[in-house]
């Protein structure tokens, strides 16, 4: 009789309690995925997965327009292939944003890097030329 009770309790635990552990694990993974894709984990991604290096902003004026470009290098520091969406800000001496641009870096293998030119089309070339650049947010996909 006692064996039947113990068996019934074990079956109840397996049927009713185990799914909660599974749901908790899946919810945690989903929350991490949402945080990575929304930019909420920017600091963590920059620390562990993506290295961003800013080159020097140079003017590329033409006869008809004032232009420039900022070469930005992105390197995958993680051990898996990943894609990143990076928002970069140009800040003036007071820390105010004067411009922003984005880069979509797709399918970077571990250790692989690529360089993209940002701020190539902007009306505020003079402000950008003296700006400090920083990563505002990173999303990982």
Q: What is the 3-state secondary structure (H, E, C) of 70-89?
A: EEEEEEECCCCCEEEEEEEE
Q: Determine the pLDDT at residue 20.
A: 56
How far is 128 from 141, CA to CA, in rounded Å?
A: 29
The first and second tokens of residue 29, run together, are 């993974």
How many structural domains is the chain composed of?
A: 1
Is 20 part of any domain? Answer: no
pLDDT tens across 2-18, in order? Answer: 776 666 666 765 666 55
CATH code at 107? 2.60.40
The answer to the question of residue 37 being in a domain is no
Q: Is the pLDDT of residue 103 over 70?
A: yes
80's CB contacts (< 8 A; 6+ apart) are 110
pLDDT at 74 > cutoff 90: yes
Mean pLDDT value of segment 64-69: 86
For residue 16, the 8-state DSSP code is I
The boundaries of the domain holding residue 117 are 42-140
Dihedrals φ, ψ of 124, to 5°? -110, 50
Taken in order 115, 54, 51, 45, the sign of the CA dihedral is negative
What is the reported pLDDT for 24? 53
Asked if pLDDT for residue 89 goes beyond 50, the answer is yes
pTM of this prediction? 0.73
Asked, for residue 24, whether it belongs to a domain, the answer is no
In a domain? residue 15: no
Q: Is residue 101 part of a domain?
A: yes
Which pLDDT score, from 0 to 100, does residue 10 have? Answer: 61
Q: Is residue 36 part of a domain?
A: no
- Evaluate whether residue 31 is within a structural domain: no
Task: Give 82: exposed, middle or buried? Use CB within 10 Å, 0-12, 13-18, 19+.
Answer: buried
pLDDT tens by residue, 16-61: 655 555 555 555 544 444 444 456 899 999 999 999 999 999 998 7
In a domain, 33, yes or no: no
């Amino acid at each position: 009789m006692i064996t039947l009770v113990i068996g019934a309790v074990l079956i109840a635990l397996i049927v009713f309690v185990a799914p909660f552990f599974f749901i908790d694990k899946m919810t945690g993974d989903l929350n991490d995925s949402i945080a990575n894709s929304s930019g909420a984990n920017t600091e963590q991604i920059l620390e562990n997965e993506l290295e961003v290096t800013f080159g020097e902003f140079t003017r590329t004026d033409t006869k008809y327009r004032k232009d420039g470009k900022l070469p930005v290098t992105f390197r995958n520091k993680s051990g898996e292939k990943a894609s990143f969406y990076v928002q970069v800000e140009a800040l003036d001496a007071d820390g105010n944003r004067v411009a922003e641009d984005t880069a979509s870096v797709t399918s970077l293998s571990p250790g692989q890097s690529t360089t993209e030119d940002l701020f190539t089309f902007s009306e505020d070339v003079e402000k950008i030329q003296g700006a400090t650049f920083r990563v505002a947010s990173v999303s990982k996909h």
